[in-house]
Structure 1
Amino acid sequence: MTAPELRSRAQNLVDSGEFFAALARAVSYPTVSTSPDGRVAVKAYLDEVLTPALTDLGCTAETYPNPDPAGGPFLVGTRVESPELPTVLCYGHADVVDGHAGQWREGRDPWTLTADGDRWYGRGAADNKGQHLINLTALRLVLEHRGALGFNLKFLFETGEEIGSPGLAEFAAQHQDLLAADVLIASDGPRLDAATPTLFLGARGGVRIDLDVDLRPDAYHSGNWGGLLRNPATTLAGAISCLVDGHGRVRVPELLPSELPHTVREALSGVVVANTPGDPVPDENWGAPGLTAAERLYGWNTLEVLAFGAADIDHPVNAIPGRARAVLQLRYVTGTTLDGMAEAIRKHLAAQGFSMVEVSLSESYVASRTPVEDPWVGWARAVLSSVAELPVATLPSFGGGLPNHVFTDILGMPTLWLPHSYPGCLQHAPDEHLLMPIAREGLVLATALFDALREDAPC
Structure 2
Amino acid sequence: MTREQAILQAVQAYDSGALQSALARRVAFATESEVPEQAPAQHAYLNDELVPLLSELGFACDVHANPAGVDLPILVARRIEAPGLPTVLMYGHGDVVRGNAAKWADGRDPWRLQVDGDRWYGRGTADNKGQHSINLEALARTLAARGGALGFNTTWLIETGEEAGSPGLAAFCEARRDLLAADVFIASDGPRLHAERPTLFMGSRGAVNFELKVRARERGYHSGNWGGLLSNPAIRLMHAIGSLVDAQGRIAVPGLRPPPIPEAVAAALADLDVGGGEDDPEINAWWGEPGLSAPEKVFGWNSLDVLTFGAGDPAKPVNAIPPEAVAWCQLRFVVGTDWRALRTHVAEHLRQGGFDDVEIRVGMQAGATRLSPDSPWVRWAAASLQRTTGKRPALLPNLGGSLPNDIFADQLGLPTLWVPHSYPACAQHAPNEHLLGSVAREGLAIMAGLFWDLGDQGSSVRDSVRELAATTSSANT
Residue 378 (structure 1) aligned with residue 411 (structure 2): no
1:81 and 1:87 map into 2 onto residues whose CA distance is: 10
Whether the 8 Å CA contact 1:71–1:159 is kept in 2: the answer is no
Distance in 1, Cα, partners of 2:237 & 2:158: 43
Task: Say whether residues 1:14 and 2:14 are aligned partners.
Answer: yes
Q: What residue is the counterpart of 1:265 in the other structure? A: 266
Deviation of 1:214 (Å): 1.0
Quick one: distance in 1 between partners of 2:32 and 2:235? Answer: 41
> Residue type matched to 1:367 in 2?
A
Residue 39 of structure 1 aligns with an amino acid whose one-letter code is: A
Q: Which residue is equivalent to 2:118?
A: 118
Distance (whole Å) between structure 2 residues aligned to residue 364 and residue 405 of structure 1: 11
Equivalent residue, structure 2, for 1:97? 97
What SS does the aligned partner of 1:419 have?
A: coil
CA shift for structure 1 position 128: 0.8
Q: Is the 8 A contact 1:93 1:128 kept in 2?
A: yes
Structure 1 match to 2:39: 39
Secondary structure of 1:426's counterpart equals coil
Distance 2:346 2:416 in 1: 33
Task: Tell me the CA shift for residue 37 of structure 1.
Answer: 4.2
Instruction: Kindly provide the amino acid, as one letter, of the partner of residue 256 in structure 1.
Output: R
- Deviation, structure 1 residue 6: 1.7
Q: Which moved more, 1:104-113 or 1:185-194?
A: 104-113
- CA offset digits 1:137-191 (Å, max 9, x no partner): 1111111111200001111111111101000000000000000000001011111
Shift of 1:338: 2.8
Q: Distance in 1 between matches of 2:265 and 2:313?
A: 45
| Match in the other structure for 2:466 | none
Question: Does the Cα contact within 8 Å between 2:108 and 2:114 map onto a contact in 1?
Answer: yes
SS at match of 2:443: helix
8 Å CA contact 1:254, 1:341 repeated in 2: yes
Q: Distance in 2 between matches of 1:415 and 1:363?
A: 23
Q: Are the counterparts in 1 of residues 285 and 294 from structure 2 also a CA contact under 8 Å?
A: no
Q: State the match for 1:70 in structure 2.
A: 70
> Higher mean Cα deviation, 252-261 or 221-230?
221-230
Residue matched to 2:445:
444
Q: Give the match for residue 367 of structure 1.
A: 368
**CA deviation after TM superposition for structure 1 residue 260, in Å:** 1.1
Which residue number in structure 2 is paired with residue 59 of structure 1? 59
C-alpha contact (below 8 Å) 1:71/1:167 kept by paired residues: no
In structure 2, give the amino acid aligned to 1:52: P
Structure 1 Cα separation of the partners of residues 19 and 314 of structure 2: 50
Q: In structure 2, what residue type is equivalent to 1:167?
A: G
Q: Are 1:129 and 2:129 matched, yes or no?
A: yes
Q: 1:71 offset after TM fit, Å?
A: 4.8
Question: Which residues in structure 2 correspond to 1:39-438 (within 5 Å)?
Answer: 39-147=39-147, 148-438=149-439
Residue by residue over 1:125-146, the C-alpha shift from the partner in whole angstroms, topping out at 9 and shown as x without a partner, is: 1111111111111111111111
Alignment TM-score, normalising by the size of structure 2: 0.93
Comparing 251-260 with 320-329, greater Cα deviation is found at 320-329
Preserved contact between residue 258 and residue 336 of structure 2 (Cα < 8 Å)? yes
Q: Deviations over 1:240-292 (max 9, x none)?
A: 11100111110001111122111111111131111312211110210011111
How far 1:315 sits from its partner (Å)?
A: 3.4
Q: Tell me if structure 2 keeps the 8 A contact 1:198–1:393.
A: yes
Distance 1:16 1:287, change over 3 A: same
After TM superposition, the runs of 4+ consecutive aligned structure 1 residues lying more than 6 A away are none
Task: Kindly provide the CA deviation profile for residues 98-120 of structure 1, in whole angstroms up to 9, marking residues without a partner as x.
Answer: 22223322212211111111111
For the aligned residues, what is the CA RMSD? 1.4
User: 1 CA distance for matches of 2:31 and 2:359?
Assistant: 39
Secondary structure of the structure 1 residue equivalent to 2:179: helix
SS in 1 for 2:340: coil
Q: Secondary structure at the match of 1:90?
A: strand
User: Please, what TM-score do these two structures have when normalized by structure 1?
Assistant: 0.97
Give percent identity, aligned residues only.
51
Contact 1:71–1:160, Cα closer than 8 Å, also in 2: no
Structure 2 portions without partners, runs of 5+: 463-477
Q: Which runs of 5+ in 1 are unaligned?
A: none
Equivalent pairs counted in the alignment come to 459
The DSSP-based 3-state class of the residue aligned with 2:157 is strand
Deviates more, 1:316-325 or 1:446-455: 316-325
C-alpha distance in structure 2 between counterparts of 1:349 and 1:93, whole Å: 39
